[in-house]
Chain A
Amino acid sequence: MDNIAGTKSSLTWAVHISAAALVILWLLPTVGLFISSFRTADQIATSGWWKAPFPSVQNLTLRSAAPDTQREAGGLFVIEGNLFAEDAREQAPITVYGVSSRAVDAFQPGETAELRKGGTITVQANGDYRMEHSEAFTGARGQRVFVTAEIPPEFTLGNYDKMLFDPANVEGMSKAFFNTLTVTIPATIIPILIAAFAAYALAWMEFPGRVLLIALVVALLVVPLQLALIPLLKLHNSIGIGKGYIGVWLAHTGFGLPLAIYLLRNYMVGLPKDIIENARVDGASDFQIFTKIIIPLSFPALASFAILQFLWTWNDLLVAKVFLIDASGETTVMTNKIVELLGTRGGNWEILATAAFVSIGVPLLVFFAMQKYLVRGLLAGSVK
């Protein structure tokens, strides 16, 4: 009898380890995204994020100063400088270098290499170089030098800077932020309001066809919203709402209602029958029962649905694009702004990663503020 409550199972450590493993596994993509948001596009393209925190041996293509910086000394034309400084990089110890793309590791630091166009170059381990030639160096650009060096980890705040403080974005971004709030707050409150009334009626008011109505609501849960996009927009246009906030509120309300009614009704039906019957006997009307008894008792379910609906409308792009964003460009939402930052052909992972963490902020706040209700609310209706 080693599984009685109160005794510790000898396998606790296994439970702990597997729980930890699951947590790590689950967090892995988020951590990767987080690290990527501090890397440049080139870094993301060339190495994985898991390599980012460690120094790495890299082959770099650096360039000497242009020939117009050369000076003549004792019959020799000389160009001097530091390769890392020319490229505005941090210095790193060079292990080998080359002057042709065909042999990038031909020379040790300190050795002198012959240049193809004539002259020589000597590169030191710290990146200092000296080019010498008996004739003047020609051309518009400096000599390419291929170096192999151990580069310390590099992180940048540039992505966040571009996203939040770039003057070209900042106005649009803050406008989009407030637009998104304008969309999400009513789109969260309206469905809750309607659903609470409907749920009460479906749970506690006797009328013919009630069961059919509940079945219909459940059936509506499976209708994909994509199906309704064009007909609904047509309807909005024909009754004169067109594209705009009212349209997107209505759409979110409609798409959110089946789940809201279902969730709230299941919770309310589980409330103790005695309280409600007592209230009826005492002469309370349905409206009084609803406002004085049901609403306060249903708070966990209401809050949990509010979180779900808020998260969904905050992250929504599809409904906003169809029902809100018209060709006048007056209205936009965060998600749409982020897509715009990605550019015509996409592929800017660094922006995507950064955007994810910027737009995650508000939902996180909402979630942590209300999460105790979420857990309680999700159990709503499951136990009587």
Chain B
Amino acid sequence: MKHVMYASVATLALSAAAAQAEQVTVFGPWLGPDQETVEKVLAAFAAASGHDVRYVGSDSFEQQIMVDAEAGSAPNVAVYPQPGLASDMAGRGFLAPLAEGTGEWIRDNYAAGESWVNLGTYANAEGEKELFGFFYKVDVKSLVWYSPENFEDAGYEIPTTMEELKALSDQIVADGETPWCIGLGSGGATGWPATDWVEDMMLRTQPPEVYDMWVSNEMPFTDEKVLGAIEEFGAFARNDDYVAGGAGVVASTDFRDSPKGLFASPPQCYMHRQASFIPAFFPDGTEVGADADFFYFPAYAGKDLGTPVLGAGTLWAITNDSQGAQDLIKFLREPQAHEIWMELGGFLTPHKGVDSSKFADAPTAKMNEILLGATTFRFDGSDLMPGAVGTGSFWTAMVDYSGGAPAAEVAADVQASWDAAK
């Protein structure tokens, strides 16, 4: 009830502020069903504020927003799939800072609020730090997908520690089956699923401070600790017994196709580590929670690093300042803005004020619990690294590594490209 009150009071305040209705253009990476959903959220904003809101999505968002900003025809609000690009654009003066008080609000109302503020704070053109990005819609990456009925048939238990996970993998091999489906193929972005693996392994073998140093390159890529995390990934992906089709096909299997092995008859694999969006690529009619389920990619019991969670998220930033754009960012504070998407599924949020009974299904609610229950939350490291590394040499290095190149060699390549990018 309190939420409803809060929402309606805020809605009133909004409509009062928006005496001047204007067109607010939003540009983002979402297409297809996601686009329909975000349009519903924006329609709620339009209804509350009186503004005329337009959304356009693009599969080449990263390139297009840059062209538009450079040429001076940027939309009012841009939805960034990763902070690296937003930080880049803030530094070149293409972003407008968010209204004062937004930072405090995030600190107070988001779980692990401080880290969300830090992720949205960048140096502006003058080099001063300001809050530019508002996080809305979060993905959890530390998930292992499996088929509960296949686990039942084989009598396997869900592992709760990394040691158990490895023991389970060995047991599956001993039973004559294959434990993992891993696919790194993604067109021009081939290799990115492996960077998630390495980041997850980094969080499970090293304290978060080391992770931060790695992501900011205070610690070189060639450090023993990074090599260790890469080798941890290799222990899964480069083990012919562990991977469906053998280690040789990891790099060439498309990430969108690889989870289908879970549902093959007989199953080609039993587990698949991938982010919360992957059910979109399960075979038609697969019901999450019944045909497919997930568990938290566990941490080592022996390392005392808590339950780290790797995630990603989209941040909204103002690329063309106007009253309407500021109103939209303000609207995203409303629980209502989060609940609309929650009800439609595929949406996680660190907002503490939302009504968690509104999650579309039990699995999403369970995912959000994993998110809120994290002792450490870290953002996808490759998204935070400079573009040449995070969306370039890191990907290719992981492809090379899964193809058999030594970890030290590929890490040296990444470090070299990082030095060149500085």
Contact status of A45 and B59, CB under 8 A, knowing A329-B54, A339-B31, A340-B32: no
CB-based contact B31/A344 at 8 Å = yes
**What CA separation (Å) do A335 and B154 show in the bound complex?**
48
Residue of B nearest to A336 (CB): B58
A222 to nearest B CB, angstroms? 22
**Which residue of B154, B187, B277, B283 contacts A42 across the interface (Cβ within 8 Å)?**
B283
CB-based contact B263/A325 at 8 Å = no
**What CA separation (Å) do A340 and B256 show in the bound complex?**
17
CB-based contact B25/A327 at 8 Å = yes
B177 cross-chain contacts in A, Cβ below 8 A: 102
**What CA separation (Å) do A70 and B11 show in the bound complex?**
52
A32 to nearest B CB, angstroms? 17
CB-based contact B72/A344 at 8 Å = no
CB-based contact A101/B59 at 8 Å = no
A60 cross-chain contacts in B, Cβ below 8 A: 265
CB-based contact A141/B290 at 8 Å = yes
CB-based contact B153/A116 at 8 Å = yes
**What CA separation (Å) do A159 and B153 show in the bound complex?**
36
* B30 interfacial by beta-carbon distance below 8 Å: yes
Within 138-192 of A, Cβ neighbours of B (below 8 Å) are at 140-141, 144, 146, 168
A119 to nearest B CB, angstroms? 15
Residue of B nearest to A341 (CB): B32
A234 cross-chain contacts in B, Cβ below 8 A: 70-72
* A136 interfacial by beta-carbon distance below 8 Å: no
CB-based contact B254/A329 at 8 Å = no
B149 cross-chain contacts in A, Cβ below 8 A: 101, 144
Within 218-276 of B, Cβ neighbours of A (below 8 Å) are at 254, 256-257, 260, 263-267
Number of A residues with CB within 8 Å of any CB on chain B: 44
CB-based contact A347/B30 at 8 Å = no
* A15 interfacial by beta-carbon distance below 8 Å: no
CB-based contact A41/B284 at 8 Å = yes
Within 301-353 of A, Cβ neighbours of B (below 8 Å) are at 321-322, 325-330, 339-347
**Which residue of A45, A242, A327, A341 contacts B26 across the interface (Cβ within 8 Å)?**
A327
**Which residue of A101, A326, A347 contacts B265 across the interface (Cβ within 8 Å)?**
A101
**What CA separation (Å) do A61 and B153 show in the bound complex?**
14
* B35 interfacial by beta-carbon distance below 8 Å: yes
CB-based contact A230/B265 at 8 Å = no
Residue of B nearest to A340 (CB): B31
Residue of A nearest to B154 (CB): A102
CB-based contact B32/A342 at 8 Å = yes
**How many pairs of A and B residues are in contact by the CB < 8 Å rule?**
120
* B91 interfacial by beta-carbon distance below 8 Å: no
* A229 interfacial by beta-carbon distance below 8 Å: yes
CB-based contact B254/A347 at 8 Å = yes
A341 to nearest B CB, angstroms? 7
Q: 0/1 per residue, A75-117, Cβ < 8 Å to B?
A: 0000000000000000000000000111010000000000010
B79 to nearest A CB, angstroms? 11
* B75 interfacial by beta-carbon distance below 8 Å: yes
**Which residue of A59, A100, A236, A344 contacts B29 across the interface (Cβ within 8 Å)?**
A344
CB-based contact B31/A233 at 8 Å = no
CB-based contact B33/A328 at 8 Å = no
A333 to nearest B CB, angstroms? 13
**What CA separation (Å) do A353 and B153 show in the bound complex?**
38
A322 cross-chain contacts in B, Cβ below 8 A: 64, 67
Residue of B nearest to A148 (CB): B265
* B280 interfacial by beta-carbon distance below 8 Å: yes
Residue of A nearest to B69 (CB): A230
CB-based contact A321/B29 at 8 Å = no
Within 200-215 of A, Cβ neighbours of B (below 8 Å) are at none
**What CA separation (Å) do A61 and B34 show in the bound complex?**
30
B152 cross-chain contacts in A, Cβ below 8 A: 116
* B73 interfacial by beta-carbon distance below 8 Å: yes
Residue of B nearest to A46 (CB): B260
* A39 interfacial by beta-carbon distance below 8 Å: no
* B295 interfacial by beta-carbon distance below 8 Å: no
14 additional A-B residue pairs with CB within 8 Å, beyond A330-B54, A347-B254: A45-B257, A59-B264, A102-B266, A230-B67, A234-B70, A237-B71, A243-B73, A327-B25, A327-B68, A327-B76, A328-B23, A339-B59, A343-B33, A345-B280
27 CB-based A-B contacts, threshold 8 Å: A42-B260, A101-B150, A104-B265, A104-B266, A140-B290, A141-B290, A144-B149, A146-B265, A230-B70, A233-B67, A233-B71, A236-B71, A237-B71, A321-B64, A327-B76, A328-B23, A328-B25, A329-B54, A339-B59, A340-B32, A340-B57, A341-B31, A341-B32, A343-B32, A344-B31, A344-B57, A344-B59
8 tightest A-B CB contacts, nearest first: A327-B75, A327-B25, A233-B71, A343-B32, A347-B256, A59-B265, A100-B153, A234-B71
A residues adjacent to B (C-beta < 8 A): 40-42, 45-46, 59-61, 100-102, 104, 116, 140-141, 144, 146, 168, 229-230, 233-234, 236-238, 242-243, 321-322, 325-330, 339-347
